[in-house]
Amino acid sequence: MEFEAKNLPDSELKQLEAQHRHYSELLEALIQKPYLSAEEQLEEVRLKKLKLHVKDLMFARRSGHTHSVAV
């Protein structure tokens, strides 16, 4: 699936912001643990990538870039 970042309505930008916050909260919960299992370490990497992807989409939307961003 691809999103045209410029064409996202404000409601979708707010949804992206909510997703970013959600991923941040999940990451924070993992970081609080003194030890992460192998599965939790993979989850940490996955969440960081998702969070970064959403941040890129938000940046593209705010700056008005028209390039497609693959999801």
* 3-class secondary structure per residue, 15-71: HHHHHHHHHHHHHHHHHCCCCCCHHHHHHHHHHHHHHHHHHHHHHHHHHCCCCEEEC
Positive or negative CA dihedral for 21, 9, 65, 63?
A: negative
Q: Which pLDDT does position 19 carry in this prediction?
A: 97
Top-confidence residue, 8 or 60: 60
> Contact, 1 vs 71, CB < 8 A?
yes
The domains of the chain are located at 2-70
Give per-residue pLDDT as tens, 12-68.
899 999 999 999 999 999 999 999 999 999 999 999 999 999 999 999 988 876 555
